[in-house]
Amino acid sequence: MTNDKILLDHGSGGKISHSMFSELILPVFNNPELAKQDDGAILMLGEEKLAFSTDSYVVDPIFFPGGNIGDLAINGTINDIAMCGATPRFISVGLIIEEGLPLADFKTILETMAKAARKAGVKIVTGDTKVVPRGKADKIFINTSGIGVIAPGVNVSGSNARPGDKIIVSGTIADHGIAVLGTREGLKFDSDIKTDSAPLNKMVQSIIDSSCGIHVLRDPTRGGLGTTLNEIAIQSNVGINILESSLPIRGAVRGTCELLGFDPLYIANEGKLIAFVPEKDAQDVLEIIRQDEFGKDAVILGEVTNKDPGRVFLKTLIGGSRIVDMLTGEQLPRIC
């Protein structure tokens, strides 16, 4: 990092975020749990194997089609815990509120959070509220942290991808990012563009409860599918090939991306997962995901290879192949 100030790019979830983490944060806090760079830390506490994760939500605007910052914050941490192969149990909520936030908005957000927690079967057990003067924050920021339990024998990590694994995505990509962007910029959209924010813990539980093998689970949020696949390719030191023809994207989302010059591969999702599974189990896992209410549009997107470790390739519709790099700067700030 040559700049001497924090830039928006540092929060993008892409390359510059990663270099900040690996060059600045990790060396200072250095420990093996943090170094794994999964969505949450895996911890032993007595006889229990836990997943522990945290996320702050600064989305702008705080209300958008299909949801608000409240369910986003609950679902996001539930999903981070689930992606560790854990059953999410307990959530903490830290609120930073800008003076002047309408109480009606605050109540709506709280109620949305409570409803999201109930739907996912997790409990909000502890919290904290801070208020800062007007102009010192932007309406409301929410941190959620969560604890989940990992069953014996479950071992899911971004470093577990193996050549031959099939890669499943649980549904359409880029819905959340485009829904938030559209609201923020006041774009007139086709009405079916809305956030995909959803809890994926039941989907994950069904996969884990099956006898299928599961190597990697990850939710492609900030930085999008393209960045997440790159993270896994690097963590597991494998190559990844995906098919453009298999990418599930809603027509309206695709159209908006084309119009505005965004690549849907780098747009955030908040209710999708990617699963890396042994080839022999791929069809079974695909069926399990499709049975879930949030997995109806799941497809097999590609596979893991032993060529070009650390790289992701997209086989394009016209038969070519292009490198899918990690997002470099900030495509869409404050998307979550």
- Of residues 78 through 117, those in contact with a second copy by CB under 8 A are 89-90, 92-104, 106-107, 110-111, 113-114, 117
The DSSP symbol for 314 reads E
Residues 6-25 that bind a second copy (CB under 8 A): 6-11, 17, 20-21, 24-25
Binding mask 36-75 for a second copy (x = CB under 8 A): ----xx-x-xxxx-x-xxxxxxx-x---------------
Could you tell me the strand order of the sheet in which 140-150 lies? 41-45, 48-57, 140-150, 86-98, 123-132
- Residues 175 and 268: beta-carbon distance below 8 Å: no
Q: What are the residues whose beta carbons fall under 8 Å from the beta carbon of 273, sequence distance 6 or more? A: 79, 82, 83, 169, 170, 200, 203, 204, 217, 218, 219, 220
173 part of the interface to a second copy, by CB under 8 A: no
* DSSP characters over 32-92: HHHHT--SSEEEEETTEEEEEEEEEE--SSSEETTEEHHHHHHHHHHHHHHTTTEEEEEEE
Q: Residue 168 forms beta bridges with which residues?
A: 275, 300
152 part of the interface to a second copy, by CB under 8 A: no
Q: Which of 19, 22, 61, 132 binds a second copy (CB under 8 A)?
A: 132
Binding mask 274-313 for a second copy (x = CB under 8 A): ----------------------------------------
Binding mask 316-335 for a second copy (x = CB under 8 A): -----------------xx-
131 part of the interface to a second copy, by CB under 8 A: yes
Q: Which of 145, 172, 235, 269 binds a second copy (CB under 8 A)?
A: 145
Instruction: Locate all alpha helices (DSSP H) within 154-200, ordered by sequence.
Output: 175-185
- Closest distance of CB 103 from a second copy, Å: 5
179 part of the interface to a second copy, by CB under 8 A: no
Q: Residue 63 forms beta bridges with which residues?
A: 68
Q: What are the residues whose beta carbons fall under 8 Å from the beta carbon of 46, sequence distance 6 or more? A: none
- Closest distance of CB 134 from a second copy, Å: 9
- Closest distance of CB 114 from a second copy, Å: 5
- Closest distance of CB 184 from a second copy, Å: 12
Task: Kindly calculate the radius of gyration of the chain based on its CA atoms and give it in whole angstroms.
Answer: 19
- Closest distance of CB 77 from a second copy, Å: 10
